[in-house]
Homo-oligomer: A and B are copies of this chain.
Amino acid sequence: MQTIKLNLKRRSYNIIVGSNIIKFLGEYIAKLNIGRDAYIITNASIKNKYGKALNKAIKQSGFTVRFKLVPDAEESKSIGIVSSVIKDIVRYDKKKRIFIVAFGGGVIGDLAGFIASIYKRGVPYIQVPTTLLAQVDSSIGGKTAVDLIQGKNLVGAFYQPRLVFSDVAILKTLSLKQLQSGLAEVIKYGIIKDWQLFAYLEKKYQDIFSLKEPTLEFIVTRCSSIKAKIVQQDEREEKGVRTILNFGHTIGHALEVAGNYKVYNHGEAIALGMLVASDLSKKLKFINNETLQKIENLIKAVGLPTKIQKVSIADIIEAHYRDKKFIGKKSKFVLLENIGMVKVVEKIPPKIIREALRKRF
């Protein structure tokens, strides 16, 4: 079992990573002194698989437990669901000592974290992520949000959890698609900050698919450490440090939007976005062809796409310029200098972006 400390002064917390550790969760919560009544936001499928174990783990440390099921889809990230969940919380929270547990993937983490941030101007919450994507990325760092019809994550808050508790044994029931989606973010960490992790993935990616626990624990720990270090330097994305986490996300988001979130899942879109960013880096002579090829090979090896299909360049470009991360139409990309080293480059002409995109068709 590994403990990573995320240092944010009064808002510091631990990230615990291990295998078959869910049974210890209650003890960890007890140390935090955050309340007595656990309100667990999850979905039916996760509850069916792990609800009993979680319930037991938490109750045996003297907490009361209530499960709240939300639909298992992006649709859960709506103001309507926020409102109805909070009404349910009010009914449960008679003794004013509630805390919230986000038990699920990125959708549930985002939703539960946002609810925790606004209920009574903030109550404690903990993240118990159940997907690889959530364990290595979305559960860490306090970015919470829900969607509007006009766009994803338009409403949210920066609000840190009090604990992130990642049991890699839970990853065993993920679908291949979910595993691959998470791997896109894992590869991202290697590229932006950790060439050793990248090299490890090149050698060991098959161990991930055979769900070897030491391998899973190693990559989740490694990625969590990188994310924690970045977040503690730039909690609210104000200093530009956190920007590098968006490697692959500029075009990745545009791809998701252009495909109306149906053509590509997040991991696939990010994989393609990382390739376009690598193509751009090569085009601008920041990296050589060998580096580009290594990245493409790894992405291909884990079964993620390397070519764009079913959306047009025009749609991608349009979605890109509508992206909320834009201010005054300055195009901002995280580009590669080497594996493990990136930099932010602004004002790349649309023509160059279009040419880089064309390569992926």
Say yes or no for A249: interface residue by CB 8 A criterion: no
Say yes or no for A203: interface residue by CB 8 A criterion: no
Say yes or no for A212: interface residue by CB 8 A criterion: no
Within 8 A of B (CB), among A88-133: 90-91, 95-97, 114, 117-122
CB pair B121–A156 under 8 Å, yes or no, is yes
Bits for A138-169, please: 1 = Cβ < 8 Å to B, else 0.
Answer: 00000111001111011111100000000000
CB pair A328–B155 under 8 Å, yes or no, is no
Report B-chain residues with C-beta under 8 Å of the C-beta of A157: 117-118, 121-122, 157
CB pair B327–A97 under 8 Å, yes or no, is yes
Say yes or no for A60: interface residue by CB 8 A criterion: no
The verdict on A143 contacting B121 (CB below 8 Å), with A83-B79, A148-B86, A148-B87 known, is yes
Say yes or no for A326: interface residue by CB 8 A criterion: yes
Contact of A155 among B119, B144, B151, B153 (CB under 8 A): B119
Chain B nearest CB, measured from A275 CB (Å): 27
Say yes or no for A49: interface residue by CB 8 A criterion: no
The prevalent SS among residues of A at the interface is mixed
CB pair A118–B83 under 8 Å, yes or no, is no
Chain B nearest CB, measured from A236 CB (Å): 8
Say yes or no for A324: interface residue by CB 8 A criterion: yes
CB pair B117–A148 under 8 Å, yes or no, is no
Report B-chain residues with C-beta under 8 Å of the C-beta of A158: 121-122
The verdict on A155 contacting B79 (CB below 8 Å), with A96-B327, A120-B324 known, is no
CB pair A324–B96 under 8 Å, yes or no, is yes
Report B-chain residues with C-beta under 8 Å of the C-beta of A122: 157-158, 236
CB pair B324–A119 under 8 Å, yes or no, is no
Report B-chain residues with C-beta under 8 Å of the C-beta of A144: 121
Report B-chain residues with C-beta under 8 Å of the C-beta of A155: 86, 118-120
Report B-chain residues with C-beta under 8 Å of the C-beta of A79: 79, 82-83
Contact of A118 among B90, B95, B118, B119 (CB under 8 A): B118
CB pair A90–B154 under 8 Å, yes or no, is yes
Closest to A83 in B: B79
CA distance A120 to B144 in the complex (A): 10
CA distance A90 to B86 in the complex (A): 24
Closest to A327 in B: B96
The verdict on A156 contacting B326 (CB below 8 Å), with A90-B150, A150-B90 known, is no
Bits for A312-347, please: 1 = Cβ < 8 Å to B, else 0.
Answer: 000000000000101110000000000000000000
CB pair A97–B328 under 8 Å, yes or no, is yes
CA distance A245 to B8 in the complex (A): 29
Closest to A91 in B: B150
**Contacts A86-B154, A90-B151, A90-B154 supplied; 9 other A-B pairs, CB < 8 Å:** A79-B79, A95-B327, A95-B328, A120-B154, A120-B156, A120-B324, A121-B143, A121-B158, A122-B158
Sort A-B residue pairs by CB-CB distance and give the 7 closest, nearest first.
A121-B156, A90-B150, A79-B83, A118-B155, A96-B327, A121-B158, A121-B157
Chain A residues with CB under 8 Å of chain B are 79, 82-83, 86-87, 90-91, 95-97, 114, 117-122, 143-145, 148-151, 153-158, 236, 324, 326-328
Q: What are 13 pairs between A and B in contact, CB < 8 Å?
A: A79-B79, A86-B154, A91-B150, A95-B327, A95-B328, A96-B327, A97-B327, A118-B156, A120-B154, A121-B143, A121-B144, A122-B158, A122-B236
